[in-house]
Structure 1
Amino acid sequence: MHLPKLASIGKSASRLTGGKLRPPLKTLGPGSVSSLLKIALDVAYVLLALITGVLLLLWIASIFIPIDNLNVTVSDGADGRQMPLTRPLLLFGVGAMTAYFGGFLMILRGLRKIFRTLTLGDPFQPDNVRRLRQIGLILAIVTGGVWMAQGLVAARLAPGVMEPQGISDLLTPVFSILVVFVLAEVFREGARLRRESELTI
């Protein structure tokens, strides 16, 4: 039994691809998957910045606009409760949304800088370790803020209508936060190995 030679296999593959061997899809550097994701992050960052800016203007306007005889319905699914819209309630609601989107805006800002280094083909930079730790910290603050805000709304503003988040609702966000911090340590180790190799050379 004769096995086909590697050269003949290469020629067959070359014929199948039109005479040119196509390289595998790059993950780092210009024209790679990282550069495409960087473009997507840029678009998402601009959109999120616009949303955050509009919410911030709305929060400022909430200080001055009249809200007499206005009601708001707080609901969780089918049930709901109508209650008068007070200025503290309006400021709290709009401020919480502004802080929520602002937190994710800061996360996207850090991710854009990280993917910029991936596009340049130089991911293991000390700055990326700091950026990943900041992303993990912001994600933890946003998660804790949402958990406390929903508990406050359920306990004070709409008791019996909305249910506060339980500990089980925090499992997925906490897992994501831990993954980010683990990635930060991976990048820190990569930066250390790169620095040692540069010193060796």
Structure 2
Amino acid sequence: MRTLGPGSVSSLLKIGLDVAYVLLWVILVILLLAFVAAIFVPLTDLSVTLDNPAGGREIPLERPLLLFAVGSFCAYFGAFALIVGRLRAIFRTLTEGDPFHPENTSRLRQIGLILAVVTGGVWLWQTWAARLSAGAMEPQGLGELLTPVFSVLVVFVLAEVFREGARLRREAELTI
């Protein structure tokens, strides 16, 4: 089976990305509705229990905490909807048989930037949640950032590979 062009593996992956994109937007709309509802829903006598092997801790569920949590999920799913949107555009060029389209470089850079922001945001959020729980959750270490940071760097390197491919293609088109 071919990897580029119509009827190829890239076109099948594009269909999968299209489905994922729609699902992410559905989830994001539901989360945004939950965020709006959290503004108005009364929160009397509600609490959150944080468990770990050493025991647990009960924290009262206050409106700012709920809004922050739901807002964080909105940002997380929104970021991944943006990433999948950029991937769809890249795979559209792959399906057309044009992998070194000049726009793919900027799309990959945008994906890398969004991944970097999400990685940093998740790490900060988990560190904050661990401090809030006062021992009920383990704080995040820097070692847990190795894989996400490596992934971000790989995306930026791929962006440069695509930039170089686009440059070489332009040079080849000018050669008679």
Question: Which interval holds the TM-score relative to the shorter structure?
Answer: over 0.9
**Identity over aligned pairs, percent:** 68
- Max Rg structure: 1
The residue identity in structure 2 corresponding to 1:129 is T
The residue identity in structure 1 corresponding to 2:148 is P
1:78 deviation in Å? 6.8
Partners of 2:152 and 2:55 lie apart in 1 by 33
TM-score, normalised with respect to structure 1: 0.85
2:102 to 126, 140, 156: 126
* Residue in 1 that maps onto 2:133: 158
CA distance change for structure 1 residues 75 and 63 in 2, over 3 Å: closer, same or farther?
same
2:59 to 83, 100, 104: 83
Size of the aligned set, in residue pairs, is: 176
Structure-to-structure mapping, 1:35-114, within 5 angstroms: 35-76=11-52, 79-114=55-90
Instruction: Report SS of the residue matched to 2:23.
Output: helix
Instruction: Indicate whether 1:195 and 2:170 are aligned.
Output: yes
* Residue in 2 that maps onto 1:136: 112
Structure-to-structure mapping, 1:2-41, within 5 angstroms: 25-41=1-17
1:37 deviation in Å? 0.4
Partners of 1:65 and 1:44 lie apart in 2 by 31
Runs of 4+ in 1 over 3 A off after TM superposition: 76-79
Partners of 2:101 and 2:53 lie apart in 1 by 47
TM-score, normalised with respect to structure 2: 0.96
The residue identity in structure 2 corresponding to 1:50 is V
State the structure with bigger RCO (CA 8 A, min sep 6), 1 or 2: 2
- In structure 1, list runs of 5 or more residues that go unmatched: 1-24
Partners of 2:162 and 2:41 lie apart in 1 by 49
CA distance change for structure 1 residues 76 and 52 in 2, over 3 Å: closer, same or farther?
farther
Partners of 1:94 and 1:76 lie apart in 2 by 22
